[in-house]
Structure 1
Amino acid sequence: MEKLRIGRINITWLNGGVTHLDGGAMFGVVPKALWSKKYPHNDNNQIELRTDPILIEANGLHILVETGIGKGKMNDKQKRNFGVTEESQLIEDLGSLGLRPEDIDYVLMTHLHFDHACGLTYQEAGEWKSTFVNARIIVSQVEWDEMRQPNIRSKNTYWKENWEAVQGQVDPFSGETEITEGVKMVHTGGHSDGHCIIIIEQEDETLIHMADLMPTHAHANVLWVMAYDDYPMASIFAKEKWMEYGLSRNAWYSFYHDAYYRAIKWDASGKEMTAEIKRSRI
């Protein structure tokens, strides 16, 4: 498991499972001739996409960012459609760190699409139950509202089995919220109307988790947004704002979906990597 330290805050990447989705959908209007130079694809034009949660240890708290695709959550058809080749090992990874699901204090959900939210619940004796029973689940109010009342476009990604069992734990916010000193969530919109990013700042060090505004390192260009984005111009404006903010602070940028990098620093131009944490592919 790869690790990073921001000031006194420890960050560890966990295994939430693997999907493979169409590269054209992941890069929207960007021509394949351009995106394929930056991110490999298979013979079916699919690209490998991790769904890897991040454990933040800060001020005595255990904070989980996203929850992966779960284990035993999808049927064979769903696995085939989403190119699932590996299910989540999140609980096992926490165990190797000496943690149980009950030890998680907060779960920060940048948004509630199935590939981020499936790990919130599990099934036992035909009943859906909360995985992290002691955690407060933090999500934007806009996202929480749409999760429960999805529109015709979003209903395929907001699954009731991911929210009904945890609704008593959900603590929605508007605008931005500080989770603990050095860790905050900011509502951006874009990928979904309620999408958020996470900013970690301590001792003049910064990490920005852009979530699905920048799902992989190849999406660093502010104009490279997904066809899956509900509000692509909002994605572009948010990326422009937070890339400028982070690049001026020599920030790390972390990834949920990247199969090759956990985090990267770029130079002030945003074009040249100056530091990197690669994902182990063993």
Structure 2
Amino acid sequence: MGDISVHLVDRGRVHADTGYVLDGYSMGSASNPNPDHEMSEFVVWNAVVDGPDRTVLWDTGSNPAAGDGYWPEPLYEAFSHVDAAEHTLEGDLGAVGYDLADIDAVVMSHLHLDHAGGLAAFEGTDVPIYVHEEELKFAYYSAKTTEGSIAYLASDFDRDLNWHVVHGDEHTLFDGFRLIHLPGHTPGVLGAHIETPAGDVLVAGDECYVEGNYADEVPLGPGLLWSERDWFESLQTVKELERRTGGDVLFGHDLDRFSSFGDGWNV
């Protein structure tokens, strides 16, 4: 197995009520019927996984026009990507030493609008876009009907893209880089186990938005949870991987956790 490095790419900040990501965080009680709500700052990130033969981009972030009417107003009111306009995919890749032309493949953890907003950069190219079968189905179901989730925008992913569909529970992208199906947040969330000389990396992604989802096993809020039962089972999958490998667990939007890993895992 050749050396693999993982470079983290900062794609900006989202402001949202903490109750969206930690179920019951600000619930009222008899003694405190009207508790204060807490707004938190969350990170949007991508990663570049540099392997011996391929350079892979993990997710594509938000569309820079998210705050200018591209995202539906009710959704942006709840999850405001306040600096999306300052974070183009090409510019943020450049900040960590990469160009769009360096990307040989893209892995989509899922197709929500804060992850799929940069897919247009790969339209009409032969760059493979890896996505789980269940995610692609649910994304189109949601975006093209009045059912499903409002967090999918057809304009993000209904394009001339070179889809490579992942089936089942696991898929080895290359030696040392394994994709893992983690349904719960959505039907088709993909996580990963990446082996680097600097240590193993376990990408939980939006299976766990923040530390509290992982350490305390507090589910995501109902608006962010497709299936609580599947979410809990996926959580145990990630925890078992951590027990076996001692790897670093990378959450979906936890700013402190993201910052603690610096530039990523590269030696």
Matched, 1:24 2:11: no
Give the count of matched residue pairs: 246
> Which position in structure 2 is the counterpart of 1:46?
39
Q: Distance in 2 between matches of 1:205 and 1:12?
A: 13
> In the TM superposition, what is the alpha-carbon distance from 1:278 to its structure 2 partner?
5.4
Matched, 1:136 2:125: no
Q: Residue type of the partner of 1:165?
A: R
Contact 1:68 1:115 in 2 (8 A): yes
SS for the counterpart of 2:20 is helix
Map 1:99-178 → 2, pairs under 5 A:
99-121=98-120, 130=122, 133-150=125-142, 152=146, 154-166=148-160, 168-175=161-168, 176-178=170-172
Change (3 A) 1:253 1:132: farther
Contact 1:64 1:106 in 2 (8 A): yes
Change (3 A) 1:32 1:199: farther
Instruction: Deviation per CA, 1:8-62: give whole Å up to 9, x if none.
Output: 21111112222112211210135679xxxxxxxxx85221111110111111311
Contact 2:4 2:197 in 1 (8 A): no
Q: Residue type of the partner of 1:209?
A: V
> Which position in structure 2 is the counterpart of 1:86?
83
Map 1:1-282 → 2, pairs under 5 A:
8-30=3-25, 45-76=38-69, 77=73, 79-87=76-84, 88-121=87-120, 130=122, 133-150=125-142, 152=146, 154-166=148-160, 168-175=161-168, 176-202=170-196, 205-221=199-215, 223-227=217-221, 228-262=224-258, 276-277=260-261
TM-score by length of 1: 0.77
Identity of aligned residues (%): 20
Q: Residue type of the partner of 1:12?
A: H
Q: Distance in 1 between matches of 2:180 and 2:21?
A: 23
Q: Distance in 1 between matches of 2:82 and 2:106?
A: 25
Q: Residue type of the partner of 1:28?
A: D
5+ residue gaps, structure 2 = 29-35
Contact 2:183 2:207 in 1 (8 A): no
SS for the counterpart of 1:244 is helix
Contact 1:59 1:180 in 2 (8 A): no
TM-score by length of 2: 0.81
Contact 2:66 2:81 in 1 (8 A): no
Q: Distance in 1 between matches of 2:125 and 2:65?
A: 19
Moved more, 67-76 or 139-148: 67-76
Q: Residue type of the partner of 1:230?
A: W
Q: Residue type of the partner of 2:79?
A: F
Q: Distance in 2 between matches of 1:222 and 1:213?
A: 13
Change (3 A) 1:79 1:132: farther
5+ residue gaps, structure 1 = 1-6, 34-42, 123-129, 264-275
SS for the counterpart of 1:218 is helix
Moved more, 177-186 or 69-78: 69-78
